[in-house]
Homo-oligomer: A and B are copies of this chain.
């Protein structure tokens, strides 16, 4: 399919100009208004020197301005490079170099990081999103509107964005996502979750991650309003569901837990029709609480490299297949590969995926070729498929612990820990061990006022897990390390354990 499509936001503003498009803080725009603002922003970017195929990096917080810039970059035929605001300047500098960024636009709170990261790139142009900048910065809002060419077409094969994956080991990789990848992702989601005219999808995940960006693009393609929160606040999310008509919310497990806790037992309205749960499996007690409060949780398995959701549990299976990420979305296929070939049902292996949302590859001088063979992408993640074809993700490959030749999936051990009523959060990782190669250890955040001891927790695990899976040591912590998307960073937990050959 090489037919050009009309530019998405323009076409949407033509089709349904007066529908609400965006709610972000005090801002409420219809599609007509959003398209007009985006054209203005695009012309300012033109005056800033942005040209077709330029890589425009954004270091921004969630808000209307971020949404407008996402669309404005495409309007110029440039490529969007959303950056993680929680990275250190050196990490950002590495990504800017790798992607050969031409422009960097930052929010005021990130000005120092932006300037530090840009120090060694004399060619990189910087601008702030601030209306009234201080200290001689270039402010996008103060630029004139250039009479530059704008794109009325979208080529499904052209790069829309380059997103660096939050790899826990090694250098991040810039996955190139085409307009076609994003379009198919929106279609695939639509064919599973449906499209209702009154839907409003709430983005409380950062828009610089693929899961947040996908909400912005789906909104325009579907003609649905999106609600953008600057940061995750469980009370605000609950309020958006009760009062602002949010019908769909994308979260990770830790967010969902906080939403439920803040809810204090009050049921959710029936207008909430999907809580899309990414970033790894949720503990069963949490899912049971959700069922009691009428929260339609649909677990999903997605990657930056597949433009967000790849497999998602469908509404009718949500209660019957708890813990599963469902089946591949309509245009997608997956298989599980082991060392000896295709896995049998129930057998764990690498998740290998195929479909029109799969990235064409990584980019940048520091990046490697994408592991795509004949259209099949090797995710590196581990999982199995049951007799009925439902996917269960057991571990990111990097998280797998091999102890005395046995595979230990951290998620399995964490699920047992989380089933203890005193445990609020838990993370399991492997540390080097002279005798076993690796042994599992656990960082645990207890509920307030709990006096649970490591010995009690060990006994709890021993009653429920094979001996080799029982953590060799426990550490009680106040919080667990997570990335900006809320995903647990297990690798960050592997330092400082007083163990070596302790078992």
Contacts and interface: CB of A to CB of B under 8 A. Distances in A.
A191 to B, nearest CB: 7
Interface in A182-240: 184, 187, 190-192, 194-197, 221-223
A11 interface: yes
A337 to B, nearest CB: 18
A195 B194 contact: yes
A332 B5 CA distance: 7
Given A187-B187, A190-B190, A389-B14, A3 B356 contact: yes
A195 B197 CA distance: 9
A3 B375 contact: yes
A223 to B, nearest CB: 7
Contacts of A5: 331, 356
Interface string A135-171: 0000000000000000000001100000000000000
B11 A330 contact: yes
Interface string A5-32: 1100001101110110000000000000
Contacts of A314: 15-16
Interface string A321-355: 00000011011110000000000000000000011
Nearest to A153: B333
A487 B352 CA distance: 50
A221 B191 contact: yes
A359 to B, nearest CB: 12
A229 B190 CA distance: 28
B327 A14 contact: yes
A356 B5 CA distance: 8
Given A14-B327, A221-B330, A190 B195 contact: yes
A3 B183 CA distance: 13
Contacts of A190: 187, 190-191, 195
A494 B316 CA distance: 56
A180 interface: yes
Nearest to A220: B330
Nearest to A154: B331
A358 to B, nearest CB: 8
A192 B222 CA distance: 8
A264 interface: no
A115 B148 CA distance: 65
Contacts of A279: none
A4 interface: yes
A141 to B, nearest CB: 31
9 interchain residue pairs of minimum CB distance: A1-B1, A3-B356, A194-B195, A195-B195, A1-B180, A5-B331, A1-B156, A15-B327, A6-B333
25 contacts: A1-B1, A1-B2, A1-B156, A1-B184, A3-B331, A3-B354, A3-B355, A3-B356, A3-B358, A4-B375, A5-B356, A6-B331, A6-B333, A14-B389, A15-B314, A15-B327, A15-B328, A15-B330, A19-B316, A190-B190, A190-B195, A194-B195, A194-B197, A195-B195, A196-B196
Given A14-B389, A194-B196, 17 more contacts: A1-B2, A1-B184, A3-B354, A5-B356, A6-B332, A11-B330, A12-B330, A14-B327, A15-B192, A15-B327, A15-B328, A18-B316, A190-B190, A190-B191, A190-B195, A191-B223, A197-B315
Interface of A: 1-6, 11-12, 14-16, 18-19, 156-157, 180, 184, 187, 190-192, 194-197, 221-223, 314-316, 327-328, 330-333, 354-356, 358, 375, 389
